[in-house]
Amino acid sequence: MTQLDPAAKRDTDVPEAPAPRANRGFSVDMRLASLFGVLVLLILIGWITSPDNFLTGSNLDTILRLAAPSGVVAVGMTFVIISGGIDLSVGSVVGLASVWMTTLATQAYGPFVMVVCGLAVGLGAGLVNGVLIAYGRMVAFIATLAMYISARGLAEYLSNKQTQVVRDQDFLTFFRGEFLGVPTLVWILAIVVVAGWILLNRTTFGRRTFAVGGNPEATRLAGINVKRHIAMVYGLAGLLAGVTAVMLAARTTAGSSTNGMFYELDAIAAVVIGGTALTGGRGTMVGTLIGVLIFTLITNIFVQNNLPTEVQNIAKGAIIVIAVLLQFRTNRARSTT
Partner 1 sequence: MTDLPNSLARRGFLIGGAAVGAGALLTACTSNEPPAAQNNGGGANVAAGQGDNAQPGKMVTIGFSAPAADHGWIAAITKNAKAQADKFKADVTLKPTEGTNDPSQQIAQVETLINQKVDVLVILPMDGKQLTSVGQSAMDKGIPVINLDRIFDTPLAYRTWIGGDNYRMGVNAGNYIAGEMKKKGISNPIIGEIAGIDSLPLTQDRSRGFKDALAKAGFQVGPRQAAEFTVETGERATANLLQAAPKLDALWNHDDDQGIGVMAAISAANRKEFIMVGGAGSRNMIDKIKADTDVIKATVLYSPSMASSAIALARLLGQAKGMGDLAEHEIPASITTYSAVVTKENADRYADVAFDS
Q: What is the binding site for partner 1 (CB under 8 A)?
A: 50, 52-53, 56, 58-59, 62, 65-66, 100-101, 103-106, 109, 113, 116-117, 120-121, 124, 156, 158-165, 176, 248, 251-254, 256-261, 299-300, 303-306, 308-310
Main-chain phi, psi angles of 179, to 5 degrees: -135, 120
Residues present in the chain in total: 337
State in angstroms the smallest separation of the CB of 122 from partner 1.
Answer: 11
Distances, alpha carbon 227 to alpha carbons 14, 108, 138, 213, 248, in Å: 33, 39, 12, 12, 32
Query: Minimal CA–CA distance to 75: which of 200, 176, 186, 203?
Result: 200
Query: What is the number of alpha carbons within 13 Å of residue 4 lying toward its C-beta?
Result: 15
User: Which parts of the chain fold into alpha helices (H)?
Assistant: 5-13, 25-49, 57-82, 90-100, 104-108, 111-134, 140-159, 169-175, 184-202, 204-214, 216-221, 226-252, 263-273, 285-304, 309-336
Minimal distance, residue 28 CB to partner 1, in Å: 32
Q: Looking at beta carbons only, is 61 or 87 nearer to partner 1?
A: 61
Alpha helices in 50-110 (DSSP H): 57-82, 90-100, 104-108
Q: Which is nearer to partner 1, 113 or 315 (CB)?
A: 113
* Residue closer to partner 1, measured from CB, 58 or 204: 58
Taking the least distance from each CB to partner 1, the nearer of 160 and 335 is: 160
Is residue 60 a contact partner of residue 229, using CB atoms and an 8 Å limit?
no
CB of 299 to partner 1, least distance (A): 6
For residues 298 and 300, give the distance between their C-alpha atoms in angstroms, rounded to a whole number.
5
Q: Closer CB to partner 1, residue 129 or residue 284? A: 129
Min separation Cβ 336 and partner 1, Å: 42
CB of 146 to partner 1, least distance (A): 19
Q: Is the dihedral of CA 107, 111, 115, 117 positive or negative?
A: negative
Nearer of residues 114 and 200 to partner 1, judged by Cβ = 114
Chain CA centroid to CA 119, Å: 15
CA distances from 258 to 33, 132, 204, 210, 220 (A): 36, 25, 37, 33, 40
> Which CB sits closer to partner 1, 54 or 210?
54
- Sign of CA pseudo-dihedral 226, 232, 238, 240: negative
To partner 1, the closest distance from the beta carbon of 31 in angstroms equals 29
Least CB distance to partner 1 at residue 120 (A): 5
Task: Report which residue type is found at 15.
Answer: P
CB of 318 to partner 1, least distance (A): 20
For residue 19, give the 3-state DSSP assignment.
Answer: coil
Nearer to partner 1 by Cβ, of 83 and 296: the residue is 296
- The smaller minimum CB distance to partner 1, of residues 16 and 310, is found at 310
d(CA 54, CA 264): 28
Closest approach of partner 1 to the CB of residue 88, in Å: 19
Which residues pair with residue 331 across a beta bridge?
A: none
